[in-house]
């Protein structure tokens, strides 16, 4: 059986180091907002090229807290419109509606699955206050183009980097200098994944936002028992930060392994029933997912199962068709719906062997459609 993502193997590579680290944190007697979190925030902002980083409890909380922070700073208010790609993972949309803001769903570009930049300006109204691009599947959106539009219309740019740790666009890493604030997830399956639970972070160059979010994630308190905001409990745990500190130095080489697999797939998959993913330049894609398109997805997925290969669908139902968002159900977003009907994600990970990669290619090239 070729697994979609073998997390157990990934996390066994440095098993002894992790166990030692768990023991160190246990023995330190300090479990919340200590030195490991501080160290991770410093290292991760250095990695991304941002001035500040705040560790939080999840990727969803990272996005929620960015928007909440801008509300506290008076830059966003209830009912403001936020432009966001229609084909994102639901977390991006939840972060918006959770803050009583209105998501305006923009169709993606079928060639790269990313927000169709040509459609952004048409959707700007006097209520539009921010653009939230999503670097979906690991591919960075062209942030210079986004920034140009944002500057012209005085909009905030907040990017969802949950799938794109380390992707480089226009010479900068995502989460660095290209946006006002960025949200990251360290969900175990992400390119940089925590062990034992959820984790996330925000990067920004905006000191005021940094200060507000540092407080909001900790009950709205900077000084213990004195509360400036009605905050949340959304702190990055010491134990997670400690493991992330061990893993961060391997992120670039892990991404390079993903690139090598993606490159092999793209050069060797020749089946005419399959549309391969595109990328304009190597470094802008960290291949969190390798997503192909095909007309009869169910047939192809069953064929893979018959051949002992696990594939997944990211995602079967777009946000506007979810039961949770009844108000959005009547929207017509044909490109988004087409994508959700046709996409299939092939196995890819830093621990996937080239033999397995070749096996996936052989099986796929033999598929009759
Ligand atoms: C994973 C993910 C999130 C949410 O991250 P969690 O840590 O699971 O809360 C947000 N946006 C996108 C695009 C994601 O893939």
The CA distance from 323 to 89, in Å, is 15
- pLDDT for 196 beyond 90: no
Tell how far the Cα of 185 is from the centroid of ligand 1, in angstroms: 6
Nearest ligand 1 atom to alpha carbon 60 = 9
Percent of the chain with pLDDT strictly greater than 70: 100
Which tens digits make up the pLDDT trace of 304-316? 999 999 999 999 9
Q: Which two tokens stand for residue 302?
A: 């069953």
- pLDDT for 170 beyond 90: no
With a 6 Å cutoff on the Cβ, whether 364 touches ligand 1 is no
Tell how far the Cα of 311 is from the centroid of ligand 1, in angstroms: 19
Which tens digits make up the pLDDT trace of 131-152? 999 999 999 999 999 999 999 9
* β pairing state of 128-131 and 81-85: parallel
The CA distance from 54 to 45, in Å, is 9
State residue 118's pLDDT score.
Answer: 98
The CA distance from 345 to 280, in Å, is 20
With a 6 Å cutoff on the Cβ, whether 160 touches ligand 1 is yes
**Would you give the DSSP letter of residue 222?**
E
Nearest ligand 1 atom to alpha carbon 185 = 7
**Would you give the DSSP letter of residue 88?**
S
C-alpha separations of 241 from 19, 35, 187, 213, 237 in Å: 14, 9, 12, 18, 6
* β pairing state of 172-173 and 221-223: unpaired
C-alpha separations of 51 from 94, 148, 182 in Å: 27, 22, 12
Tell how far the Cα of 187 is from the centroid of ligand 1, in angstroms: 7
Contacts of 166 (CB under 8 A, 6+ apart): 47, 173, 174, 191, 192, 251, 252, 255, 286
The reported pTM is: 0.98
Which tens digits make up the pLDDT trace of 211-257? 999 999 999 999 999 999 999 999 999 999 999 999 999 999 999 99
Q: What is the rounded average pLDDT of the residues 66-78? A: 98
Q: Which two tokens stand for residue 75?
A: 């830059």
| Residue pair 194/35 in contact by the 8 Å Cβ criterion | no
The neighbour count for residue 207, using CB atoms within 10 Å, is: 10
State residue 351's pLDDT score.
Answer: 97
State residue 280's pLDDT score.
Answer: 82
The CA distance from 148 to 113, in Å, is 21
Q: What burial letters (b/e) apply to 330-345, b meaning 16+ CB within 10 Å?
A: eeebebbbebbebbbb
Q: What is the rounded average pLDDT of the residues 277-282? A: 90
With a 6 Å cutoff on the Cβ, whether 18 touches ligand 1 is no
C-alpha separations of 61 from 90, 181, 220, 346, 360 in Å: 13, 13, 14, 28, 36
State residue 354's pLDDT score.
Answer: 98
Tell how far the Cα of 202 is from the centroid of ligand 1, in angstroms: 12
């Amino acid at each position: 059986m070729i697994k979609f993502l073998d997390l157990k193997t990934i996390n066994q590579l440095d098993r002894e180091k992790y166990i030692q680290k768990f023991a160190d944190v246990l023995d330190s007697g300090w479990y919340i907002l200590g030195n490991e979190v501080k160290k991770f925030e410093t290292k991760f902002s250095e990695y991304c090229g941002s001035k500040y980083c705040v560790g939080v409890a999840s990727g969803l909380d990272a996005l929620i807290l960015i928007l909440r922070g801008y509300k506290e700073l008076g830059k966003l208010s209830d009912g403001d419109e936020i432009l966001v790609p229609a084909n994102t993972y639901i977390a991006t949309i939840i972060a918006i509606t959770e803050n009583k803001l209105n998501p305006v769903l923009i169709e993606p570009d079928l060639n790269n699955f990313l927000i169709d930049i040509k459609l952004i300006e048409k959707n700007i109204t006097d209520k539009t206050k921010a653009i939230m691009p999503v670097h979906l599947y690991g591919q960075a959106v062209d942030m210079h183009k986004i920034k140009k539009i944002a500057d012209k219309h005085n909009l905030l740019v907040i990017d969802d980097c949950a799938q794109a740790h380390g992707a480089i666009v226009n010479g900068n890493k995502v989460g660095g200098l290209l946006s006002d604030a960025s949200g990251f997830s360290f969900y175990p399956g992400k390119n940089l994944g925590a062990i034992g639970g959820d984790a996330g972070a925000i990067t920004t160059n905006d000191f005021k936002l940094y200060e507000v979010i540092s407080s909001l994630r900790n009950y709205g308190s900077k000084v213990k028992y004195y509360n400036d905001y009605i905050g949340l409990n959304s702190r990055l745990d010491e134990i997670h930060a400690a493991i992330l500190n061990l893993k961060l130095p391997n992120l670039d080489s892990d991404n390079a392994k993903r690139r090598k697999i993606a490159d092999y797939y793209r050069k060797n998959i020749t089946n005419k029933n399959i549309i391969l993913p595109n990328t304009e330049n190597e470094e802008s894609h960290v291949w969190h997912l390798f997503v192909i398109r095909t007309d009869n997805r169910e047939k192809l997925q069953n064929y893979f199962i018959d051949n002992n290969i696990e594939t997944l669908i990211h995602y079967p139902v777009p946000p506007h068709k979810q039961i949770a968002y009844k108000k959005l159900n009547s929207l017509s977003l044909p490109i988004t719906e087409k994508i959700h009907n046709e996409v299939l994600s092939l196995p890819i990970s830093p621990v996937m062997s080239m033999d397995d990669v070749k096996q996936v290619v052989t099986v796929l090239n033999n598929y009759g459609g």
